Structure 1
Amino acid sequence: MTDDLALARRLADLADPISMRYFRSDALGAETKADGSIVTAADKEIERVLRAELASAAPADRVIGEEYGSDADDTGAIGSRYWIIDPIDGTAHFASGKSAWSTLIGLRVGETVTVGLASAPALDKRWWASEEGAWVAPNGGSAVRLGVTDVDGLAEVRMGMWPVGKRLNESQRRVWEALSERVATVRPTADEGGSLREATGNVHGGLMVAEGLLDAYVLLGGGPWDHAAIVPIVTGAGGRFSDLEGGTRVDTGAGVYTNGKVHDEVLRVIAAAL
């Protein structure tokens, strides 16, 4: 295990008991942020604790978190190493007592995210990746190496997408409709609710690609904390990540996760729709 992965695991070990202490409790302190998303006392406490641990364990590294932003004046001018944290990905689920949420921790070195970890203590499950590969295990259980599917034709693809329905803006709707017409299935359907999380109980569509449960997942909006931890897990499982134009930065908002074999086809459909 690399030192960086060991530190990511230590951060997750700090986060999990905090999130579980708040989960399904009366002390959530849920609030609505300016962008309409939910934040809880757990989100804030986890990020504060992880920032403090990183300041002690890796003082030269920078941090970007969903709740407290970047500790550098300009994220484009940040140092060569920075940790990207989503203290609770899926806060709406967390706040409503549903189990499909996780803490996401990624380390970007230069232009590459080298370590990723997603911990879902309410599901007793953890995913991680480094240069040694990508793995999944129940917390404390035996690890199983992750691997993507071999599907190589768009017409056979099982795809996840988010957002759907009324949450889509005009350009996102065009992408959603164009892809829906070309693939075998799309989750969620109109009958399953507003997110893949609701439709499947899984914490992130990218992780479903890494586990071979989906062939592709398109997240049409999000921050770097929504992508960073997931990217090395998907690529370590043999898959591919890019933004909608094929670039590999995690801070452009949207992300496309695939088994690699259908990636270019997915990007061509997206480009034609935009």
Structure 2
Amino acid sequence: MPSYDDDLRLAHVLADTVEPLTMGRFRATDLHVDTKPDLTPVTDADTSTEEAIRAQLKRARPRDAVLGEEQGTEGNSERLWVIDPIDGTKNFVRGVPVWATLIALVVADTPVLGLVAAPALGRRWWAGRGTGAWSGRNLSGAKAIHVSGVSQLADASLSLGDWRDWAEIDRREQMLGLLDSVWRVRGYGDFWSHMLVAEGACDVAPEPSLEVYDMAALAPIVTEAGGRFTGLDGRDGPWSGNALSSNGLLHDEVLARLAAPARP
């Protein structure tokens, strides 16, 4: 199995580079916020962070392609860096510290590396294919993380984002039934739900509508921690436009409960 240790070290360097930028704009009184065509917010911190990461990747990995939320795809290579400069922009805008820079490497359509850097929380999570999942402030303070051993929905803790999004994919009733089946429901949202699954603090995290750049960094961390990361259609990885992360033991049952309604 190829080693991605050098790429993982680079991902940490990228996160180190942009952390002063993002933290310097977090809760800034002059933060500039625009609205994208899909009506989601974008700040000057989003754009400048992605530009900084792209510039450093161009120097360090000039042959690799890059996909970013704000500037799309550049280059053509089987090695694709996927960047979300600030996942949780709405939190960032409102001064909520649950936001992160997501950095992933996808090789031949397989996410092989993921790093989630949440400086306002003082945490990072990362994984490389075949080397386990880790959390800490940096590489030198790393601690291995693992999913939980909860095997019954009645004992499970579930984390979700915006409840209203489930109506948009016509699965609100299925989701309501699932919520009634678990032990505990909390709305951590965005990247954090999936990182809590990876470290065993939550057991299930479903989301109905996501982009590849929202998920590419999360998938290898959850799977290297011993869990599963699929779309609601059961397809492995970040390719389905939605996501379910779990400790693996509960995955198939949750997929069945959230299955699309039968067409007449």
The two structures have a TM-score, normalised by structure 1, of: 0.88
1:252 offset after TM fit, Å? 2.0
Indicate how the Cα distance of structure 1 residues 237 and 45 shifts in structure 2: closer, same or farther if over 3 A, else same. Answer: same
Contact 2:169–2:208 (CA under 8 A) maintained in structure 1 = no
Identify the match of residue 24 of structure 1 among 27, 47, 51.
Answer: 27
Deviations 1:29-75 (A, max 9, x none): 11122212111000000101111111111111111111111125xxx
> Which residue does the alignment assign to 2:63?
60
**CA distance, structure 2, for counterparts of residue 203 and residue 267 of structure 1:** 20
Indicate how the Cα distance of structure 1 residues 152 and 166 shifts in structure 2: closer, same or farther if over 3 A, else same. Answer: closer
Contact 1:161–1:176 (CA under 8 A) maintained in structure 2 = no
Identify the match of residue 200 of structure 2 among 193, 209, 212.
Answer: 212
1:167 offset after TM fit, Å? 7.0
1:166 offset after TM fit, Å? 6.8
Identify the match of residue 51 of structure 1 among 38, 50, 54.
Answer: 54
> Which residue does the alignment assign to 1:153?
152
> Superposition RMSD on alpha carbons, in Å?
1.9
Identify the match of residue 253 of structure 1 among 241, 256, 259.
Answer: 241
Deviations 1:61-111 (A, max 9, x none): 111111111125xxxxx5211011100011111111121111000101113
Amino acid aligned to 1:159: L
> Which residue does the alignment assign to 1:123?
121
**CA distance, structure 2, for counterparts of residue 44 and residue 18 of structure 1:** 11
Contact 1:148–1:211 (CA under 8 A) maintained in structure 2 = yes
**Equivalent position SS for 2:39:** coil
How many pairs align? 258
> Which residue does the alignment assign to 1:90?
88
* 2:227 counterpart of 1:239: yes
Q: 1:148-187 to 2 correspondence within 5 Å?
A: 148-165=147-164, 168-169=167-168, 171-187=170-186
- Which consecutive unaligned segments of at least 5 residues does structure 1 have? 73-77, 189-195
**CA distance, structure 1, for counterparts of residue 21 and residue 193 of structure 2:** 24
1:272 offset after TM fit, Å? 5.7
- Which consecutive unaligned segments of at least 5 residues does structure 2 have? none
**CA distance, structure 1, for counterparts of residue 20 and residue 177 of structure 2:** 42
> Which residue does the alignment assign to 1:75?
none
Stretches of 4+ aligned residues off by more than 4 angstroms: none
Contact 1:121–1:139 (CA under 8 A) maintained in structure 2 = no
Contact 2:79–2:106 (CA under 8 A) maintained in structure 1 = yes
**CA distance, structure 2, for counterparts of residue 140 and residue 125 of structure 1:** 11
